[in-house]
Structure 1
Amino acid sequence: MNSPQTWPQIVAQLDNYRPSFRHTIVRWSPPPAVLVKCNTDGASKGKPGPSSASFCEIDHNGNLVGAKGVKLTDSYNLVAEATAIREGLQYCLDKHFHQIVIETNSLSMVNILNGEWDSPLSVTMEVNSINRI
C-alpha cells in the first residue's frame, strides 16, 4: 500500500495493521563447578533520569552468594548497565571470587567490552574500571 495521504487513509491503514510477534525462549542455567555467575542489570527512567544498577551472584549449585542494588543519580541506561557490571565485578573481587561468568542483557555493553564498539564518553570511566578489575 502506498503512503496514506489523507486522514481517512491513515485511519484505514491503522485499522488494517496486524503486528507480527516473535518470541525466544530464554533459560537461566547455573555456572559450571568452581565458577560463580554474576547476572547484572541497569535501568534508567529517562534520558537522563533516575537510574539504578543491580547484580546477583550465584554459585554452581544455584545458591545466591551475594546481591546488591544501587540507586544512581540521574543518568543514562548504558551508564546504569555499565555500573551494574562494575559493581558485580567489584563484589567478586572483594569476596575473592576469581573465576566468574558475567551475564548482562545489554548487547551494547557486550559489544563495548569485547572491543567491537567504541565506548561512548558517558561510559568510558565505567568501562575503564571494568577492564581494570
Structure 2
Amino acid sequence: MARVKHLVILDSFKLLQIKFPYIHWPLGWNKICTLLERCTHDIQVTAIQWQKPPDSWVKINTDGSALNNPGRIEAGGILRNQNGELILAFSVPLGQGTNNQAEIEAANFGLAWCMQLNYRNVILEVDSQLLADWFNSRAAVPWTILTQL
C-alpha cells in the first residue's frame, strides 16, 4: 500500500509541477505532498438491480459518454417492455461536447424513439444524478444546455 501511495504522490507531484509551475520548489511542494499523503478516498459499493416496469409501461435506460470533457461524445440506450424483453437498442455518435451534453442527448434520443414507436407510458432511467436533478427541477440547468432539455 505504501508503494502505491508513493507512486500516486509522484504522479500527482509531476502533474502539479506541470500545471502550476509558479509554485516554487521545494517549499510549496513539500506542503502539497504532505497534504496529499493525508488524503483518503472512501469507496462505497452499491448493488443495483434492473427492475421491470409496471404492466403497459416501457423502460428506457440511457447513457452518454465523453472521451474527454469536452471531447468526442456518444449516446446509447436500451428500451424494454414490462416482461424485460428488448424492444430497441441504440448507439449513436454525437460529435463533440461534454459529458453532460452526452447524457442529455442520450435521454432525448431514447425518448424520441419512444414517441416515434407510440409509447406514452415511459420510465426513463439514467446514471447521471445531475441529469435526473435537472429533469426533476432540483438543480438549475446551465443556460448553455437549457435548450437540450
Question: TM-score of the superposition, structure 2-length normalised?
Answer: 0.72
Match of 1:91 in 2: 113
Q: Distance in 2 between matches of 1:17 and 1:125?
A: 39
Tell me by how many angstroms 1:21 deviates. 2.8
For residues 79-118 of structure 1, the aligned pairs below 5 Å read 79-118=101-140
Q: Distance in 1 between matches of 2:137 and 2:103?
A: 16
Give CA-to-partner distance per residue, 1:61-111, whole Å, 9 cap, x none.
110100111101110010100001111110000000110100000111111
For residues 1-133 of structure 1, the aligned pairs below 5 Å read 7=30, 10=33, 14=37, 19-127=41-149
> Aligned partner of 2:48: which letter?
V
Give CA-to-partner distance per residue, 1:25-61, whole Å, 9 cap, x none.
1111111111000001001111210000111100011
Tell me by how many angstroms 1:123 deviates. 1.7
Question: TM-score of the superposition, structure 1-length normalised?
Answer: 0.80
Matched positions, count: 122
Q: Distance in 2 between matches of 1:79 and 1:18?
A: 31
Structure 1: segments with no counterpart, 5+ residues: 128-133
C-alpha change, 1:111 and 1:6, in structure 2 (3 Å) is closer
Q: Distance in 2 between matches of 1:19 and 1:125?
A: 36
C-alpha change, 1:80 and 1:20, in structure 2 (3 Å) is closer
Q: Distance in 2 between matches of 1:105 and 1:37?
A: 14
Q: Distance in 1 between matches of 2:121 and 2:80?
A: 12
Q: Percent identity?
A: 25
